[in-house]
Each structure stands twice: as structure tokens, then as C-alpha cells.
Structure 1
Amino acid sequence: MVYRPTTPWSWSFLILAFVQSCVVLACEGYVFATFQNNLIKNNILDLKPKNDTIAAYSEVEFQKAQTRTIPTYLTLFIFAHIFLVALCYDALRLKNTIQVIGICIFNLAMLIYAAIQMDQINDANDALSPDKIQDKNLKLMETDIWGAIRPFLITIPCVIALSTVLMGVVCWKLYDEFAWRIYKHISADLRMKKRYLTFQIFIALLKFDFFFFVGFTVQFIVIVASTTGFTKNQSNTIGGKDYEFYVTIAALPITIAFLATAAFFTRREKRGVMWGVVVILFAALAYFIFKLVRMWTPTYEETYKPARRSLTTFAVITILLIILTIINAIACIMNFDKGLKPHITKRKVTDEEDKNSMTEMSAHMSQPMQSRMTID
């Protein structure tokens, strides 16, 4: 049965996410269309190094990478806002308070990313603009478009900031609704509620892990590693590309399957499998720390320069999320075999039952409090 929100605050949260997504994607779409229509694609395809030196190849590859910056940001914003709306619907369906709070934090992270996007798109415009490019004989764009797209790039973080504030207000109201639902369908036992809260945090973290890992991977593959000639040491390449390029592509579907497996076996309370999940999470943590250090190493500075600021943002957030995921995974394992499993594997509450629960809460809240003193 398809879930439908049953309260004004639930509808408000979902509609707010949807409206924000439409406005932001409309602005991103305009920026993308302006950028693509202004590119001289034939000149970019025919772009060749001036001589047979590593520096010349690096310059050409850097300029080619800049042409993919804006399309990649548009793709990420489309993915982020589809993910946001889906996550809002999922949080309301599951009555997951932690996920609702996480969505507000996620929106704040997208606000930071939108601000970073402005600087990097400005850098891409400078690298390709006929007014600012050093080689006047090399024309990759018809005109400088910064003045045309700048208002829309400013609008995006403003819309996200306003939406984040409104989401915070709605989140506060939803907290009361969901707290009553947990009281009705879990138990009044504080220890059981704490175990259920730990489980909710872990499941929510897995979902956000998915987005930030995919976002980092897409940027790395499309902007950084999709062309040849970036590495100064060509001995560790296959067909001109670093081994890391192929490892990153292979890791993407494996990661998605791994996160789904972690959620499944947490519900089933499989202790051995979950300890294996913790070990893999530590390996993922080491990988992202390695990537963060490498992108700021002088040897690979030119390789990551087209997207280094946004990649750094994604890497730092992912590292923090993985650390929190490891902590909560261990906490979930410690809660196995303590009575939580029946509550998280039983059938979901129907819309009608949820309506009845909310009606009961309203009736309970409207009852006058009895006085502690009476007069005979």
C-alpha cells in the first residue's frame, strides 16, 4: 500500500522539499544551458597540446576538465534533490525522527556545496573565457558568461538557506508527532526506546553514506579521472588512466550492495556479519583519508585542481559520516538479542492505524489535567 502523509506538518515537510528542488533545479538548468550553448565544441574536441611535454598535456587536460565541471554539478544537484525528496518521503513513511533531522543537516551541507559551486564555476569560466584565457588564438567559449549566470548561482544558496530554516521549524513539529508514534508502537521502556533510537541513527547514516560516496565518486570519475595524461608518473596507468580510476568505478556498485547488506543484517541481528561490516567501514575510512591527503599532495595537485574544493568537502563529510556509522554499528551490535528485533521486523503500521494514533494523541493532549488537590 502506497504511503500518504496524514498530517499538515507531514505534508508541509514533503511539499517544502519538492518546491525547493524545483526552484534549485530550474536555476541549475539555466546555468547548464547557458554554459553548454556558449561552448565551441569543435575547438574543444580539436584541442591539442602545444608540445610533447607533461606540462602541455596537463594544461590541455585541465581545460577539458573545466568543460565538464558545470554538467557534473548539474548532475549532482539533480541527484541530490531527487535523493532529498525520496528521503523525505521515506522518513515520513517510517516516522524516523533521526532521518528528518538528518535531512535538515543534509540541506545545510548542500548549502555549503552551492556556495563552493559558485567559486569553481567562476574558475571554469576564467579558464575558458575568451576575455581571460592567455592564448588569444585559442577560443573555447563565445563570450564570458559569468555576468549572466551569477544571479542564478546566488539564488540557489539563498533558496536552500530559506528552505533549511523552514524545514527546521517543521522538523520540530514532526518530532512531537513521531515521538507519540514511537511511544504507541515500541514501548514506554526507556532502554528499549534508546535501542530503537540507535537503530534509527544507523539506518539513517547508511542512507547519507550512500549519497556522499556516490557524489564523491561521480566527481572523481567525470572531472578528475575521465581523461588521459593527468599523472606525472605513467607507470601506474592502464591506457593512460591511473589504476585508481578503474578501482573507483568497480567500488561504486559494491558499495551500494554493501550498504543494503548492512541494513538488512542489522534488522536480522546477525552479529558475525555485522562485525565484518565494521571492518569494511574501517577500510572505507582509510580509503577516504588517503584520497583527502592525496588531493592536497603537490605531486597530484594539478590532477585534482578542477574539483578539489568540492571533492574535499565531500571527502570530509564522508569521513565524518563513516566514523559515526562505525560507532553506531558497534552500538547496534551491543543491542542485539535484547528484545528490539520484534519491533523492527514486525509489519508496518497502515495509514488508517496511523490516523487513529494521531487522533488518540490529539484527544490525549486536549484532556484537562486533573488537579492534585481536591476539596471535600
Structure 2
Amino acid sequence: MYTPNSVWTWSFLLVACLQGIIALALECYVFGKFQESLQNDAEKTTESRTIPTYLSVYIFGFVYQVVLVYDALRLKNTIQVIGLCLYNVGILIYAAIQMDQIHDAVNFLVGRTMIELDFWNAVRPFLVAIPCVIALGTLLMAVVAWKLYDEFAWTIYKHISADLRLKRRYLVYQIYIALLKFDFFFFLGFTVQFIVIVVKTNDVEFYLTIAAVPVTIIILMLAAYWTRRESVFGMICIIILYFGALAYFLFKLVRMYTDVARREDYLPARRMLTAFAVITVLLLLVTIVIACLCTHNFNKGLKPHISRRKVPDPNDQKDFINEMPTLAGPAGSRMTID
């Protein structure tokens, strides 16, 4: 089990945990107040499902972030650390959009006397506080990430040695693995919101959307597996599936704005779903490009360095000395150990 061994690794983990705890506490208050304020028959409307769904995504988002923080520190993945800062910016945008969407939902419910009139005034300060907490967390994470970059760069240097071409290939690999982990959140976040909020779909579309969840998980797991095994055939299959996923999300995005007959079904969560869909499409495009680069780098000496998921810790003498024969490679290769 990995244990953070420097003040900056502990700081990064602490900031992520504290941010998540405070933001979720504020969200839970809003959710409790919302449930308490709802009147009869409100549960039948799409608008009444927005706040519980947003809270569910927040819970999953912050718990998943803590898991990714631990994973990035364990693997000493500088790209994933930087990605987590950008992930936090995404959560910040989500919090800002959430406030506007909740306001619209409350206005709808108030107009039909399905919620107490003072609900919005009671929860507005808490909804304003959430993006403020996340903005502060993002700033602190960025500062700590800058320190971690120097700390991890030295460890990676010792792990990969001074071969610049090999270091570039390892960087591409790190980017790809980090992208897969962020893809998982946005794929799943969009699909779950669509299933819960937009319930008035035909049977075929509804079941296809549900089926997308396990299919997504399997695709991403196979993508990571075949990259470590350096399977060209496997990666070609995965890239084809990426294009299929890209078509799926573009279809969902276009449908939300062109299907006039079902405009009211999408409207309560359209901005949130649009944000998730756009981010997911952009991530997919980048993932496809990096996947092609990873495949191009197969069989060029990187496999021994990525076969172990944990980068040896130079502060742990036993761990690092045991790893030296693997890192040394063929006789006569250059080793730089200070």
C-alpha cells in the first residue's frame, strides 16, 4: 500500500479531501432543504430530479477525484496531477452551471406551487459558496502540483534514464493512461444524468443508453490492458470503438437541440448535459490522437518500464535497488544514479 512520503504529496491529497468534504456538505444541505421544501406531485416532474442528480454526480466526482489523486501520487504521474487540476476546473464550471439550472428548476416548481416560495433564498448562499470553495481548491492544487512536478520529474528521470526518445514515449503513455481515467468520469457522468433526468425516451434509446455504461467500462479497461501489452491489433479495435463512441456522443448532443418534439424533456438539464457532452467529445478526440501515438511507440523499448504499475521510489532504498536490474537494460546502457 502506497503512503505519501513528502509534504507536497500529503498536501495534494489533503486539499482534495478537504475540498470534497466541504463541497459535499454544502450540497447535502441544499439537497435536504430541497426534499423538505417539495410539495405534493412535484416528484412527477423532471425538474424535481435535477438536484438529486447533481448531488449524485458531485458525490461520484469528488470520491473519484480522491481515488485519482491517490493513484497519481502512487504512480508519480505528473500528467495525471496536472490533469486533476484541470478536472477541478471542470467541476468548478459544473458548479456554476448547476446554480443556473437549479434556479430555472425552482422557478418552474414555484410557478406550479410545487415547492416553498422561500427555498431559493434559503439555498442561494450555499450554491454561491460551492464554486468559491472549488475555486480555492483549484488554486491550492495548482500550487502544490507545481511543486510535485519537480519532485516527480526527478523520480521519472531515474526510472527511465537519460534517453530522451524513451522519455517522450513514456510521456505519451502517461498522457494516454491519464486520459482514460478522466474519460471514465465524463462518459459515466453524462450517461447517468441522461438516464435519470431524461426519462421520456423510447424503449430502444433508453436501453441503449443503459448498455453504454458497462460497455464504456469494458472498453477503457481493455484500452489500458492492450497498451501495457503493446498489442497493435487490440489498439486498432479500441480506436475503432473510440470513433463509435464519438458518433454516439455527437448524436446525443445534436438530438438535444434538433428534436423539437422532445424539447421539454431535455430542457431542464440541457446546459449541463451539453457541457458534459462537449467535454467528452473533446476528450475522445484527444484520446484517439494519443492512442495512435502510443500504438506507433510499440516495440521500441518502453514495455519493460510500464509493465510495473508503480514507479520505484528513490527514497525507498530497498524498492529502488531491487528495480535497478530492470532499469539497467542491456549491458553497456547508460545509467544515471546520483
TM-score (norm 2): 0.91
Number of residue pairs matched by the alignment: 320
- What per-residue deviation string (whole Å, max 9, x for no partner) do you get for residues 7-36 of structure 1? 000000000000000000000000000000
Decide which moves more: 292-301 or 282-291: 292-301
State the match for 2:231 in structure 1: 270
2:2 aligned with 1:3, yes or no? yes
Q: In structure 1, what is the Cα distance between the partners aligned to 2:309 and 2:122?
A: 53
Q: Is the 8 A contact 2:81 2:145 kept in 1?
A: yes
Counterpart in the other structure of 2:283? 321
1:174 to 148, 170, 182: 148
In structure 2, the partner of 1:136 is none
Name structure 2 gaps, 5 residues minimum: 321-338
The aligned counterpart of 2:192 is 218
Q: Which residue of 1 aligns with 2:166?
A: 192
Matches within 5 A, 1:35-74: 35-40=34-39, 42-44=40-42, 64-74=45-55
How far the C-alpha of 1:348 sits from its partner, in A, is 3.2
Query: Hey, what's the Cα distance between the residues in 1 that align with 2:152 and 2:265?
Result: 47
8 Å contact kept, 1:17–1:88: yes
Partners of 1:350 and 1:28 lie apart in 2 by 39
Aligned equivalent of 1:244 = 205
Residue pair 1:262, 1:277 contacting (<8 A) in 2 also: yes
**Counterpart-to-counterpart distance in 1, 2:102 and 2:3:** 39
Once the two structures are TM-superposed, the CA of residue 292 in structure 1 deviates from its matched residue by 1.0
| Identical-residue share of aligned pairs (%) | 59
Asked if the contact 2:42–2:109 (Cα under 8 Å) also holds between the matched residues in 1, the reply is no
Q: Does 1:288 align with 2:287?
A: no
Larger radius of gyration: 1
Deviation sequence 1:324-362 (CA, Å, 0-9, x none):
0000000000000000000000373566x44459x9xxx
Deviant stretches of 4+, over 4 Å: none
Could you tell me how far apart the structure 1 residues matched to 2:98 and 2:131 are?
Answer: 10
Pick from 60, 75, 85: which aligns with 1:79? 60
Query: How many Å apart are 1:303 and its aligned residue?
Result: 2.1
Equivalent residues of 1:12, 1:170 under 8 A apart: yes
What TM-score do the two structures reach when normalised by structure 1? 0.82
- State the 1:290 CA deviation: 1.2
User: 1:94 is matched with which residue: 75, 93, 98?
Assistant: 75
Aligned equivalents of 1:347 and 1:315: distance in 2?
Answer: 31
* Stretches of structure 1 lacking an aligned partner (at least 5 in a row): 48-63, 134-138, 231-236, 360-376
Letter in structure 2 aligned against 1:152: F
Alpha-carbon contact 1:125-1:144 (below 8 Å) kept? no
Q: Distance in 2 between matches of 1:355 and 1:153?
A: 45
What's the CA shift string for 1:132-161, capped at 9, x where partnerless?
33xxxxx32233300000000000000111
Structure 1 residue 111, shift from structure 2 partner: 0.5
Alpha carbons of structure 1 residues 10 and 128: separation in structure 2 relative to 1, 3 Å: same
**RMSD of equivalent CA atoms:** 1.9
* Aligned amino acid, residue 18 of structure 1: C
Are 1:259 and 2:257 an aligned pair? no
Aligned-partner SS, 1:160:
helix
Structure 2 vs 1, CA of residues 354 and 268 (structure 1 numbering), >3 Å: closer, same or farther?
farther
For 1:64-95, what per-residue CA distance to the aligned partner results, in whole angstroms no more than 9, with x for missing partners?
A: 11000000000000000001111000000000
Pairing of 1:4-23 with structure 2 (within 5 A) = 4-23=3-22
Would you say the 8 A contact 1:292–1:315 is kept in 2? yes
Residue matched to 1:203: 177
Matched, 1:106 2:80: no
Structure 1 residue 251: deviation in Å? 1.2
Counterpart contact for 2:31–2:51, Cα < 8 Å:
yes
